[in-house]
Chains A and B, each alone.
Chain A
Amino acid sequence: MQPARPATQSMRLMAQETRAEHGPVPRSLGGHDVPPGYEMFADGQYLLRCASGYGYHYRPGCGIMIERPSSLCDPDEEYLWLNGSVYAAAACLNGLYPVHASAVEYAGRVFAFTGPSGAGKSTLVAALGQLGLPLFCDDTLLLDLTEPGAVMALPGHKRLKLTEHALALTGLMGEQPVGAETGKSYVAPPAGASAEPLPLAALVVLEQGPELRWAPVSGAQRLLVLDEDHHVQRLYTTALRPARAELFATRARIAAHVAMARLTRPHDAASFTAVTQLALDHILQSGTPA
Chain B
Amino acid sequence: MTGSITKRPDQFSETAIDDEIVVMSLASGTFFSLAGTGRSIWQLLDRHSDRPVLLAELGREYGRDESAIATEFDEFVASLEQAGLVACS
Contacts and interface: CB of A to CB of B under 8 A. Distances in A.
Contacts of A284: none
Contacts of B75: none
A39 B9 CA distance: 38
Given A249-B13, A249-B15, A244 B29 contact: yes
B17 A220 contact: yes
Prevailing SS type, chain B contact patch? strand
Given A244-B24, A245-B26, A248-B24, A219 B33 contact: yes
A218 interface: yes
Prevailing SS type, chain A contact patch? helix
B62 interface: no
A252 interface: yes
B29 A256 contact: no
A252 B13 CA distance: 10
B68 interface: no
B22 to A, nearest CB: 5
B20 interface: yes
A219 B22 contact: yes
B34 to A, nearest CB: 9
B35 interface: yes
Interface string A74-109: 000000000000000000000000000000000000
Contacts of B35: 219
Contacts of A248: 13, 15, 24
Contacts of B29: 244
Given A244-B26, A244-B29, A219 B15 contact: no
Contact of A219 (B13, B17, B24, B26): B17
Contacts, number: 42
Contacts of B26: 244-245
Given A244-B26, A245-B26, A219 B18 contact: yes
B19 interface: yes
Given A219-B35, A220-B31, A223-B31, A245 B13 contact: yes
Interface string B2-21: 00000000000101111110
Residue from the set B15, B29, B31, B33 with the largest chain A CB neighbour count within 10 Å: B15
Contact of B17 (A222, A244, A249): A222
B89 to A, nearest CB: 26
A255 interface: yes
Contacts of B24: 244-245, 248
Residue from the set A219, A220, A224 with the largest chain B CB neighbour count within 10 Å: A220
B13 A223 contact: no
Contacts of B16: 256
B13 A256 contact: no
A215 to B, nearest CB: 14
Contacts of A222: 17
Given A245-B13, A248-B13, A249-B13, A223 B18 contact: no
A252 B22 CA distance: 9
Interface in A242-278: 244-245, 248-249, 252, 255-256
B62 to A, nearest CB: 21
Interface of A: 218-220, 222-224, 244-245, 248-249, 252, 255-256
24 contacts: A218-B17, A218-B18, A218-B19, A218-B20, A219-B18, A219-B22, A220-B20, A220-B22, A220-B31, A220-B33, A222-B17, A223-B22, A224-B31, A244-B24, A244-B26, A244-B29, A245-B13, A245-B24, A245-B26, A248-B13, A252-B13, A252-B22, A256-B16, A256-B17
